[in-house]
Structure formats: C-alpha cells, structure tokens
C-alpha cells in the first residue's frame, strides 16, 4: 500500500470518542475545555445585570389564570428595564414573552431555529408595529437589539439557548455599557 492510501481523510481528532482509550492528559485537557466553557457562560450571565428567569408549563392556554399572570409579570419585568430570560416555548414562557412585547418593545431580532422562528413569526403577525429583523447569526441578532437600545428603543433578541455562546461577545460588551434590554433565550 502506498502512503496516500494509508493517510486518513478525516483527521484523528474528529473521531476522538470512537478511537478507544486515550492518554490521561487528553482527558484532563478535555475536562479543562469544558470547565472553561462553563466559566465563560457564567461570566456572560454575571454581566447582564438584574435578571428574571421565567420557566413554566406549556399546557396553559391563553384563557388560563396562570397564563394571564405570567403575561402581566413579563410586562412588569420589561417596564422595570430588567432582563427577561425564558425558554421561549408555549404556555407560561410565551405569556412572559408576550408581556414584554406589550410593554413597548419596538425592535425584535433573531436567528432562525426553534424556538426563535416561532417567537419571531408570532411577533411579526401579532405586532405589526415592531420592527423585526432576521440576522445572520445570534451575535448579529443581539447587536441589532443592543443598537436599538442605544437609540432609546426597547428591543429584544431571540435565539436558541445554545446560540447564546455565539452571542457571548456581544453580551459581554452590552453588559459593560450598562444598557437595559430583554434577552429571550
């Protein structure tokens, strides 16, 4: 067999989990990478300021008492200028998002993907007075919301929870500027 036939097409590190036991130093490096990802996430969340996280049942419909209470809560959180973080799903989380919309949000941005697509579609259809923009990624979406906030508009960026790592740089910069905003994850 010649050298070209023996050469792997896919580098060994991409098949890391399937190649069998590794030296312990590799496991230690892998654990450190995970640790630093946690630290980066905690630091990003540390700088977003006063925050209220809303999670709840997806079973409650619009006419349920708890849905109405969560909607009012979302509105009050936004009026106070605090960050609202939700899972973006139906029921209680939808109600909190809806309350934020109704508190005077003027700009919405997001990156396509569940639940962002549903939230943005809901915003475009239900609130024609809100400027909605699809962004090229989560970071750009957050920067659009930050720019609107600098201009004096209430705004929000919506993204998948895992998209927050893409937006972490913009989130850190926004925290340093001490602007108020709503982050729906």
In a domain? residue 177: yes
User: Which tens digits make up the pLDDT trace of 129-139?
Assistant: 888 888 888 88
Q: How far apart are CA 75 and CA 100, in angstroms?
A: 5
Residue 27 pLDDT: 81
Could you tell me the residue range of the domain that residue 80 belongs to? 47-184
In a domain? residue 124: yes
What percentage of the chain carries pLDDT values higher than 70? 77
User: Which tens digits make up the pLDDT trace of 155-166?
Assistant: 888 887 778 788
Tokens of 70: 């969560």
In a domain? residue 39: no
Return the CATH number at 107.
Answer: 3.40.50
In a domain? residue 94: yes
User: Which tens digits make up the pLDDT trace of 14-30?
Assistant: 555 666 777 888 888 88
* DSSP bridge pairs for 108: 132, 156
In a domain? residue 33: no
Count of the separate structural domains present in the chain: 1
């Amino acid at each position: 067999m010649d050298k070209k036939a023996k050469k792997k097409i896919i580098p060994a590190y991409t098949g890391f989990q399937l190649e069998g036991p590794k030296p312990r130093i590799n496991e230690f490096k892998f654990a450190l990478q995970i640790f630093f990802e946690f630290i980066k996430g905690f630091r990003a969340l540390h700088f977003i300021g006063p925050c209220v996280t809303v999670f709840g049942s997806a079973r409650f419909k619009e006419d349920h008492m708890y849905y109405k209470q969560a909607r009012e809560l979302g509105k009050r959180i936004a009026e106070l200028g605090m960050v609202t973080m939700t899972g973006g799903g139906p029921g209680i989380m939808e109600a909190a998002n809806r309350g934020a919309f109704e508190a005077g949000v003027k700009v919405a941005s997001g990156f396509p993907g569940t639940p962002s697509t549903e939230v943005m579609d809901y915003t475009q259809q239900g609130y024609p007075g809100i400027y909605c923009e699809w962004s090229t990624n989560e970071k750009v979406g957050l920067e659009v919301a930050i720019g609107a906030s600098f201009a004096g508009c209430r705004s929000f960026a919506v993204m998948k929870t895992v998209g927050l790592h893409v937006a972490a740089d913009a989130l850190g910069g926004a925290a340093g500027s001490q602007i108020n905003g709503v982050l729906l994850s």
